[in-house]
Every structure is written in C-alpha cells, then in structure tokens.
Structure 1
C-alpha cells in the first residue's frame, strides 16, 4: 500500500510492505536499555493491556512479551502484520495483530493501560487519532511515543550511508538526526500532558551485512525505490562498507521517549 504525505520525503510514495522481509530480519535492533526504560517506570508489564501503534513486524510487542503484558499490535501494512504474526507464532507468543490504519482502530472505551508508538508517530493524523486514543486509554493510562535514530554528525559510517541514500533518493527526509527530544504536536498536547522525557545515547552493534540490511529496510531505500534502484544502491553500499567499515562495528544512536498521561481535567 503506497503512502503519500506531502510532509515526508517531498511527497514521494513509499510502501512498507515492499521491505517487510528485510524489516523483519534487520530492524529488530532496539537494545535492552530501550525496553528496560519502560519496565522501570511500570509500563508494559504483567497485568497491563498494551496497544502498539505502527507495530511493523511487531518488534516492540515481541521483545517486551516476556514482561507479562497482554499485547495488541496494529499497522497499516498487511505485509508487515503477516511478518509480525509469523514471528510471534515462531516465538510461541500470544499477541493479537491487526492490519489497520491507526486512525481506524476500533476498541472498546478504556481497553488499554498503555499505548505505545515507536518510530511512527509522525505518520498519523492527530486530529483523527487523538480523540480515539483518549477513548480507548484507561483514565490513568499512559501514551508512550518513542524513537531511536543513528547520529550521522557523530558517526562516520552512518553519515556515509545517509549520503548514499540521498544520492539515490534526494527527497528522503529520514536522515540528519541529532540529539533531540520526541516532538509532540500541539494537537496531541490538547488532550495529553507530558509526564516524563527519557533520552540517552546507545551504541548498537552491527556487521556489514546487518547494517546494510538495516539501511536497505529504511523508508528511503527499499520502501520507496524501484527494485533496480534498490539493487544498485545495495551494490554501492556494500562497496562503501567494505572500504570504510570493519567486519563488525557499533553505530551511535540516540533514544528518546515521551511518556504522557491524559489531561482528565
């Protein structure tokens, strides 16, 4: 399913379904510190029902399943959801996954203790989504918006990889990240207030193959380029990595979260 948003990649269409297999293989990279930051705050744990928006291949629910919460994941891409279901089944996990735009989810009022959205919140139509989140989140529930991005101005490998994506896809707007808090739109802040921000640097370990796969599975490459363009990009990227990167290496990332509660006034 092609997605077009004038505020993302200059309006260039992208489809996460085209990269689902590589997404499942190479984008399950969040470190333990990421999940533990939630658990330490009593979020996504035993006794809670949690909805993960923009779940993709179910990375967040699958990695946090061991902490005991009952998980539901939704995503606009049917291909992503099929991968999520397959991986959860392989792991013996009882997680409900549904293919639906976030704005169209349909649950009973006060169904969830926590709603998470990782690396996806900027895709949503807040005017449509926020009232629905307020309805399905319990009175004392929490909305958690998360992101983790490599730091190209601090990491040479990330910088050179970004440059190559932009060579093939000049309108890609997914690069250039710096240490910054999660942006929360004023439309969201009409109904939610930020309770806590969590931010930290973290090194993520890769091989040349896995970093190539991580970059290939980003929005700017396989999700939006043609098959021929993607293959050419990958040849160039592997040649680049062979010239500048050791067999294994860390890439510096910045993780950020905004934990919010409903404004129940």
Structure 2
C-alpha cells in the first residue's frame, strides 16, 4: 500500500486500506441501527423519493438504510472490494443503491443536484475542508448534510478498553483509542463551509457480540487489518481470542456504543470555499 493507492487513506497519523478488510467488514461490523434512521426520519431529514449521496459508503450501511426509507441513493467509496460487499448486502436486503468508486474530495456530482449528503463513520478520513465545500456544491438550496458516527465506548475495565490496549500493543501508531464518540470539530468544518442551522443529537445503545463476531469486528478496524501485515493480524487475532477467553469468558457480550450526528443546511448560494474547491464535474 502506498500513498498513490486509491483505496489507501491517511488520518490521525494512520495509513489504512479498508479494501483489505472487506470480508470481515461486511460480516462483522455492525451497521448503523434502525434507531439511527428513525431519528433522522423523526427530524424530517429523510425525504422519501428524494436523492442522497453517501460519502465513504464502505459496505453501504448508511446508503442501504436511506434506500430502505425510500430515497434514491448513490454511494461513493475509493475501495472497490467494499463496494462489491455492499452490493451483495443490498441484494440480501432487497434494496437498490447505485455505487461508484470515488472520493468525497472529488465526487463528480453536478452542482445543486441532491437533497441529502451523508457521511457515516468516515469524515475523519477526508480532507474535510474540501469535502465540506464539495458537499455544499452538490446540495440543492435547502439541502441537508448529515455527518454521523456509531462508535464503541471504552469504559473502565470493559472489553472495549482491553481491546484498545491490545491494538496499541500491536500497533503503537494507532491514535484512535479512548474516544467518546463526539466530534465537535465537525461543527466548525460545516460552519466554515457556510452551512447554516447546525445541530447535533446523540444517544447510546448496546450491541451484542459473540467472541467470534467481536474478533471479526476488531480485525476490520483501522488499527488492525487495514494497517498491519497479514502475519501481524493473525498474531493479534490469536492474542485477542486468548484475552477474551481469560478476561471476558461470557460469549454474549454487550458492547456499549454511542450514535452521534451533526446536521446542517446548505447556504443559499455557493460559498467561496466551494468555489475554490470546485471545477467542472
């Protein structure tokens, strides 16, 4: 994997290729739950029949939920293996989403062409200034952007904290441990791009995982399969399995998670950041 690899991304000091995680990502990474889409619907942020673009779509967890709610959805991601997994999951779910390889910084969208832009669990991987400007260009006047996260919560003594410590033992360059699932910097990103009526919401929930499923979920994370060699991934997975047997022997574990989202409306005109980031699309 090199900087020129279109599926490779760098953020928080970590270079990753999520294309290498496609199998585990599709099987074991819990997608945004129905309660997230219900929250969007209650706020009127999902418009059946409207058009949406899901940036960094991965295996399509957000795109699929929007399509189930009646939206016409385009999912963009630079990792082709993840898009193939997304298509397979869509077939199982009986929904249709259009997928295309692409980046949030150069989505190739017509100006003022969509009603909703979403980015689930991925805004930190983008050049955020350019991505926000491109989203503003793509949205119709009054259109909405939603940046959302669905993060595990490391609490004192819980399995998440122990797992993060193990990831750091194998990958000291990983910088994403100890999060609280809240991203105040994203509000500034949207404000500086000229978005208006910025608001947030959050709520917590517990997700059940077996030992096998948790191992798969962690292998699919940025700090493991997306950035370590296959040999190191295998060694880490063996160490995680042993840790779970020793310290958390109950096979059904409830993993605390936090859903957090920030939303804003497109400004009346194209702002100067969008003009700088723009061009022919």
- The reply to whether TM is greater than 0.5 is yes
For residue 65 of structure 1, what is the aligned residue in structure 2?
67
**Cα distance, 1:232–1:134 mapped onto 2, change above 3 Å:** same
Q: CA deviation at 1:16?
A: 0.5
| Aligned pairs, number | 262
Contact 2:67 2:95 in 1 (8 A): yes
Alignment of 1:216-255 (within 5 A): 216-245=219-248, 246-255=250-259
Contact 1:23 1:214 in 2 (8 A): yes
For residue 3 of structure 1, what is the aligned residue in structure 2?
8
For residue 199 of structure 1, what is the aligned residue in structure 2?
202
Q: CA deviation at 1:235?
A: 0.5
For residue 264 of structure 1, what is the aligned residue in structure 2?
268
Contact 1:181 1:197 in 2 (8 A): no
Q: Deviations over 1:44-87 (max 9, x none)?
A: 34121111000001111223322111111001111111211222
Alignment of 1:155-194 (within 5 A): 156-178=158-180, 180-184=182-186, 186-190=188-192, 191-194=194-197
Q: Secondary structure at the match of 1:175?
A: coil
Q: Which runs of 5+ in 2 are unaligned?
A: 270-281
Q: 1: CA distance between counterparts of 2:66 and 2:160?
A: 27
After the TM superposition, which of the residue ranges 236-245 and 213-222 deviates more from structure 2?
236-245
Contact 2:142 2:267 in 1 (8 A): no
For residue 106 of structure 2, what is the aligned residue in structure 1?
104
| TM-score, length-scaled by structure 1 | 0.92
For residue 147 of structure 1, what is the aligned residue in structure 2?
149
**What's the C-alpha RMSD, in Å, of the aligned pairs?**
1.8
For residue 133 of structure 1, what is the aligned residue in structure 2?
135
Q: Secondary structure at the match of 1:195?
A: strand
Alignment of 1:84-103 (within 5 A): 84-103=86-105
**Cα distance, 1:179–1:122 mapped onto 2, change above 3 Å:** closer
Contact 2:136 2:267 in 1 (8 A): no
| TM-score, length-scaled by structure 2 | 0.87
Q: CA deviation at 1:126?
A: 2.9
**Cα distance, 1:120–1:4 mapped onto 2, change above 3 Å:** closer
